[in-house]
Amino acid sequence: MSRVAFIPLRLLSWSRALVLGTALLATACHPADDAAPVKTVDYKGPMLETENVLMLVSDSARLRVRLTAPLQQDFESGDSAYPKGVKLTFMDTDGKTVVNTITGKYGKFEKSKNLYTMRGDVRVTNVPQQQRMNTEEAFYDQNKASIYTKETTEIKVTTPTEVLTGRGLTANQDFSRYRILTPTGVFTLQEAPTAPPVPANR
């Protein structure tokens, strides 16, 4: 697969700025003939920040995955973080039809594993089958084209006819097939628990 990123850049050269600032401070405080050794700062923050990210992943000249995020932070390791949320959109083989989406309030990408982690109100939605999973943390493994959660993570799957609850889930990339590791309940839409009605104002 190939990647094409369309991103307006806002660069942050934090590491160079910190080292340069430390060097200038040391020079200003000591005479030239008695210069103290320059202390470098071990900066572990982002090397680059990008706003309003749009990244396209294609295969055989057809769009397969679209990533959008308000903010992307890139690190020296090649990892990325999405502190303001992220959305992955999966396309059908025609490259035009949306088959699945994953959204989360926070996301990160680990380059060494080719793995996305989503946290906070995570929603996985298969559009053609109208089924959705809600959870607080989920993973997308790009190498295996699979979506999964930890075994102990609470999940809820909603289909057009029923609601299923449990802990732990594995699914294929488009969320057309899934397996709940520990099912805890199955409800029809009429039986599914709902919030109590709000009393009318008198």
pLDDT in tens, 97-152: 999 999 999 999 999 999 999 999 999 999 999 999 999 999 999 999 999 999 99
Token readout for 88 is: 């992955």
d(CA 103, CA 130): 16
Q: Are strands 146-148 and 115-126 parallel, antiparallel or unpaired?
A: unpaired
Check pLDDT > 60 for residue 196. Answer: no
Q: What is the DSSP letter of 19?
A: H
For the 2-11+49-188 domain, the top CATH level (class) is mainly beta
pLDDT in tens, 170-186: 999 999 999 999 999 98
Token readout for 73 is: 């932070």
Tell the residue number behind the tokens 């199955």, with chain if given: 186
Confidence (pTM) = 0.74
Grouping H, G, I as helix, E, B as strand and the rest as coil, residue 21 is: helix
Listed by start position, the domains of the chain span: 2-11+49-188
d(CA 100, CA 88): 8
